[in-house]
Amino acid sequence: MDPKPAAPAFTIKADDDTAKGRFANLAQVGSSHDSFVLDFAFVQGPVGWLLSRLLLSPQHAKRFHAVLGDTLARHEERYGVIDPGPMLQ
């Protein structure tokens, strides 16, 4: 069996504000035939602020779903089961 090919090497740069990250306590996902839209917001009381909107192709969304699931599974193996908490209506 051939070994898995190595991923191409590249560098990702970010300005300081982007590299700091932002806390989101609400995420919404929508889709059309050619894209997925991921909105991340911070909600406090009756007011919320959209922090970021990501647009993904269906192929990238599928790969993101797989890697997020794998990462969550490894996290729970190491730290215990994550309680998802209440769902917002």
Q: What is the pLDDT of residues 33-77, one digit of tens each?
A: 999 999 999 999 999 999 999 999 999 999 999 999 999 999 999
Single-letter amino acid code for the residue at 66? A
What is the pTM (predicted TM-score) of this model? 0.79
- For 52, the domain range is 24-79
Is 34 domain-assigned?
Answer: yes
Distance CA(11)–CA(1), nearest Å, equals 30
Q: Residue 82: what pLDDT?
A: 97
Is 18 domain-assigned?
Answer: no
Q: Look up residue 53 and give its two tokens.
A: 């909107």
**Structural domains of the chain, count:** 1
Q: How confident is the model at residue 89 (pLDDT cuts 50, 70, 90)?
A: low
